[in-house]
Amino acid sequence: MREITKKIVAIVLGAFMVMGGLATNAEVATPSYTMIIDDSTAIFSSTDVQAESVVIPRWSMHQITAGGRGQNIKVILVNGSIAFSQAAGRTLTSVRSNWYYDRTNVIFAIRNASEAQLTKGQKYTIGENYAIEVLVENSYHGAMYFVFNGNFEVRFSFVPNYRMNTNALVVYRINSEGRASQVRNSRYENGYMVFTATHFGLYKVVYNPVLFVDIENHWAQNVIEQSAARGLAHGVGDCKFNPDEAVTRAEFIQFLDNVLQVTRMGRGFYPETDIIRSTWEQRYSDITPDEWFFVPVTAFGERGFLRDLAEEKGEFLPNEAITRQEVAAILSRVVEFWSWRMRTVKNFYVEIFNDHADIYFAVQVETAVRAGLLSPYGVGDRQFLPRAYVTRAQAVVIQSNFIETLDRLAN
């Protein structure tokens, strides 16, 4: 590890304006920071431990992210941190054909939302909830000189009420009109709310507990509570979740669709829209449009995710309990579709399981495990149990694995 401390007096080329009041035309942001290079990450922090923001020269960051020796970036702030991969960080510093741009600074800040700067819609949406602003800016005379592309990880200090179940804490992004969208991978970790996102701006923390009386001390209790608080998993009535009950084929697809939103897909891979198709053609002989699972099953079928389980116009058997290898077959097709966003676990082969000869969908199992969606340890004791039924608790864990995989900090 090597440490480089730089205190640089900025050359004032004109009024330096930054949205949100971090700097104005009356006060020019002056770089003053510490940089530590640790393995593959350049860690920046302010020399003023009480500073609300960190100001870094664009050219300095560009040298860090450019070329074959490019580093990831992490900015430490008084109340949290913002982290970027090398590729995402490079978009903050990409060179434009502007002589002044090379002399600008990048300003990072996490701060409490200022009511005076909120729109009426934002104030209404925030209500009594705690809200912050995540600001990352690079401007000269008020003009932005980068278009951010990628995602970033935010950690900010949060002190929950002692009565709160921290599994039920959820972060929402709020746009300029006051519309809130859930940040599904948000979570509480040791005094911080943590999430990855693709947009800078306003975020709020919401406490949304869902009580189930039959999951206390269950091995999947935390994951079930987190999923329920985000609206991704629902109970069966009477405040029960039935975590060890076998999940049907149709129910499992609904669990997946709650995360992947295949029924809302347009032409894009992962649209942020609420548009749902009004008409769907019947695809399987035993699923009619009047059944609750018609749309999700049909949507998954149209995308080819179910082709290992049923042929078009054939039977799908939606009310049959789904087996572990059938789940792997669906997951492998989803991985193919989202391959550009999936991680890869190398050197895994089904032969590690003593019962590998019983696995009909062996290749699909390997694909699902390598993508991080199924455990490489199976059910323990080097057993996969391909014909064992998947439980509701296990389905929620797969949901969580999808969120962790798809929403991780991109490389």
Does residue 5 surpass a pLDDT of 50? no
- Distance between CA 226 and CA 209 in Å, rounded? 9
Q: 166-192 as b/e, with b when 16 or more CB fall inside 10 Å?
A: bbbbbbbbbeeebebebbbbbbbeeee
Task: For residue range 161-208, list pLDDT tens digits in order.
Answer: 999 999 999 999 999 999 999 999 999 999 999 999 999 999 999 999
Confidence class of residue 139 from pLDDT cuts 50, 70 and 90? low
Does residue 340 surpass a pLDDT of 70? no
The pTM of the full predicted model, rounded to 2 decimals, is 0.84
Task: For residue range 55-76, list pLDDT tens digits in order.
Answer: 888 877 777 877 655 688 999 9
Full set of structural domains in the chain with CATH? 2-207 (2.60.220), 221-406 (no CATH)
Residue 5 has φ and ψ, to the nearest 5°, of -110, 130
Stretch 99-125: mean pLDDT = 85
Among 63, 72, 124, 69, smallest CA distance to 95 is for 63
Does residue 346 surpass a pLDDT of 50? yes
Q: For residue 301, which amino acid is it?
A: G
| Residues above pLDDT 70, as percent of the chain | 81
Confidence class of residue 13 from pLDDT cuts 50, 70 and 90? very low
Stretch 132-161: mean pLDDT = 81
CB of 129 closer than 8 Å to CB of 196:
no
CB of 42 closer than 8 Å to CB of 86:
no
- Find residue 75's DSSP bridge partners: 44, 82
